[in-house]
Chains A and B, each alone.
Chain A
Amino acid sequence: LAKTTQPISMDSYEGQEVNITCSHNNIATNDYITWYQQFPSQGPRFIIQGYKTKVTNEVASLFIPADRKSSTLSLPRVSLSDTAVYYCLVGVPGGFKTIFGAGTRLFVKA
């Protein structure tokens, strides 16, 4: 299972774009990259998933370089309610054993 490394914490202000980078140097050919968001005392919530290049949905974008050894979650114009822990996971979709790294604690300030 590919190990992931993320910054422990990040601070931002409302309205700013936030980019959280995750390193996964030993990602396997069949692995996808998935990001989850977790608020205190709640289960993780799916944000976005991708395999290569760029993926965008209504809440975030995911940038994956050609070598796939890292990925960047981009949150446009964050608000106070985006304060949470963000986890980057790598594995085979639909059947992977989801191993969580330490995650990144994002603090959004007014």
Chain B
Amino acid sequence: GAVVSQHPSWVICKSGTSVKIECRSLDFQATTMFWYRQFPKQSLMLMATSNEGSKATYEQGVEKDKFLINHASLTLSTLTVTSAHPEDSSFYICSGTGTANTEAFFGQGTRLTVV
């Protein structure tokens, strides 16, 4: 199947700093990218949906100024957690799908720890 590469796989940052997570579709054009966060022993919670070249659509309760999403190309989307705080510590996962795809392909996830 198609591959989505997500980096970094884990990151530790200080409170107040910003962290960028990259998500690349390696062998398909991801016209739509989804970003999720997942807390321990819980399901994935959709944060936002982004279409290439357009502004992301955020789910209710997700701060767009804190979680900046860029989807400038068909193969790359980034999530920047700005002014991170310990409560932002979580597992972040991206997925992508294209017009020719019948399912979404997920990245490996990024474990963010804010200290």
Contact = CB atoms under 8 A, between A and B. Distances in A.
Interface of B: 1, 4, 6, 32, 34, 36, 43-46, 49, 91, 93-95, 97-109, 111
Contact of B102 (A42, A93, A98): A93
Q: Is the interface of B mostly helix, strand, loop or mixed?
A: strand
A43 B100 CA distance: 21
A80 interface: no
Interface string A37-71: 00001111110010000000000000000000000
Contacts, number: 58
A94 B91 contact: no
Contacts of A99: 46
A102 interface: yes
Nearest to B45: A100
A44 B91 contact: no
Interface in A9-56: 32, 34, 36, 41-46, 49
A43 B103 contact: no
Nearest to B4: A43
A107 B10 CA distance: 26
12 contacts: A41-B109, A42-B108, A42-B109, A43-B4, A43-B6, A43-B108, A44-B106, A46-B1, A87-B43, A94-B99, A95-B97, A100-B43
